[in-house]
Structure 1
Amino acid sequence: MKKTILITGATSGFGKACAEHFAVQGWQLILTGRRTGRLEQLQQQLGEAVLTTMTLDVRDREQVFAKLGSLTDVDVLLNNAGLALGLEPSWAVDIDDWETMVDTNIKGLMYCTRALLPQMVSRDSGHIVNIGSTAGSWPYPGGNVYGGTKAFVKQFSRNLRSDLLGSKVRVTNVAPGMAESEFSNVRFKGDIEQAAKVYQGTEALRPEDIAETVFWIVNRPAHVNINVIEMMPVDQAWGPFAIHRHDK
Structure 2
Amino acid sequence: MVSFEGYRPGRLSGTRRAAYADFGPEGVSLQLECNASGRPGTVRDGRFVLGGNNSRIQTAIGCGPEHGPREVRFFDFFEQSPTVETLGADRLRLRAGGAELVLERPAVRRLAHLPSPAELDGAWRMMEVTRYLPEGGVAGVGLSEIPGRLIIAGDRLHFSACPELGLRFRHASEGRLVKTGGPTPASGPLGCAGVSDEADAPLLPGPSQALRLLHADPLVEKTGDGGLLLSTSDYGLLLVPDGR
**TM-score (norm. length: structure 1):** 0.24
Flag the structure with larger Rg: 2
Structure number with higher relative contact order (C-alpha < 8 Å, ≥ 6 residues apart)? 1
Q: Which has the higher helix share?
A: 1
**TM-score (norm. length: structure 2):** 0.24
